[in-house]
């Protein structure tokens, strides 16, 4: 019912993803830093084919929850499941090998390398130093070319990444993430610092990755217009606790979400 009031593409995705297998699940995750409870007893679930948003005021615990899911932090309590397997104590690189790729708020492109080389070192072919010393396969080169053309960056391929604009670097980082052929992509504020004209473009790329390359997407976002438009479902955190989850429309009308953003207790 709610989904039908969204855009038609959103409604279609919501309908098709509802039956999807659970890809990520957290079971009562708590993360403490000393006396501070950054994430407090949080259950979330991301299903195959969904775009799921994670919102909340500054310090709500969003990045900490992401870090627990990707294995860069160990939760103090609770469990993380990836496709039904308990991965709570798995190191980050082992979870990443299962296809869970993380993008960061601040771009992590290699600024002294060309755009094309940034793409090639991101191919999902080798690990560690092998990536640097082994020449990329022709398949990786082909894929890099295809993605750079798609992202409008092929003409700039020989430019050092450090010379690109911030928005272009974010696009490059998105391309690098796709080179790893992700199963699930966790994006930390994809719209942050992007100019308005690039936002639509970025949303299109995220949707294409989801619909055409079957990438399940879980994203943290402060830009409300963006997260409401792109997400099938949204979780809201405040003070480490899950305060709401639902369709974008449900979240927009949720009193506890409004209270959290307005600072009302």
Ligand X SMILES: Nc1ncnc2c1ncn2[C@@H]1O[C@H](COP(=O)(O)OP(=O)(O)OP(=O)(O)O)[C@@H](O)[C@H]1O
Contact residues toward ligand X (CB under 6 A) are: 33, 36, 38, 56, 58-64
157 vs 222, beta carbon nearer ligand X: 222
Q: How many CA atoms lie within 13 A of 68 on its CB side?
A: 32
33 vs 166, beta carbon nearer ligand X: 33
Taking the C-alpha atoms of residue 20 and residue 47, their distance in angstroms, rounded to an integer, is: 5
Q: Where are the alpha helices (DSSP H) in 42-91?
A: 62-70
Q: Where are the alpha helices (DSSP H) in 134-195?
A: 138-150, 166-179
Taking the C-alpha atoms of residue 259 and residue 265, their distance in angstroms, rounded to an integer, is: 7
38 vs 87, beta carbon nearer ligand X: 38
Least separation in angstroms between residue 78's CB and ligand X is 15
Taking the C-alpha atoms of residue 116 and residue 141, their distance in angstroms, rounded to an integer, is: 9
32 vs 83, beta carbon nearer ligand X: 32
Least separation in angstroms between residue 34's CB and ligand X is 7
Least separation in angstroms between residue 220's CB and ligand X is 7
Rg (the chain; Cα; Å): 18
Least separation in angstroms between residue 37's CB and ligand X is 8
């Amino acid at each position: 019912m709610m989904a039908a009031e969204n855009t038609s593409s959103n409604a279609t995705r919501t309908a098709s993803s509802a039956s999807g297998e659970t890809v990520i699940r957290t079971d009562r995750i708590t993360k403490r830093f000393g006396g501070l409870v950054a994430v407090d007893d949080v259950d979330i679930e991301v299903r195959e084919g969904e775009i799921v948003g994670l919102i909340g005021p500054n310090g709500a615990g969003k990045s900490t929850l992401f870090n627990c899911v990707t294995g860069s932090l160990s939760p103090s309590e609770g469990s993380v499941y990836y496709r039904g397997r308990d991965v709570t104590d798995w190191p980050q690189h082992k979870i990443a090998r299962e296809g869970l790729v993380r993008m960061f708020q601040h771009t992590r492109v290699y600024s002294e390398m060309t755009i094309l080389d940034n793409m090639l070192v991101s191919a999902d072919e080798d690990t560690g130093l092998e990536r640097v010393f082994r020449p990329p396969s022709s398949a990786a080169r082909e894929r890099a070319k295809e993605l750079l053309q798609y992202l409008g960056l092929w003409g700039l391929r020989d430019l050092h990444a450090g010379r690109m604009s911030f928005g272009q670097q974010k696009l490059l980082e998105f391309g690098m993430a796709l080179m790893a052929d992700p199963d699930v992509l966790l994006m930390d504020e994809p719209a942050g610092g992007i100019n308005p004209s690039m936002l639509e473009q970025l949303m299109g790329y995220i949707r294409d990755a989801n619909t055409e390359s079957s990438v399940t997407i879980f994203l943290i976002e402060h830009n409300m217009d963006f997260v409401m438009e792109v997400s099938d479902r949204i979780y809201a955190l405040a003070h480490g606790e899950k305060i709401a989850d639902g369709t974008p429309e449900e979240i927009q009308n949720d009193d506890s979400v409004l209270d959290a953003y307005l600072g009302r207790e």
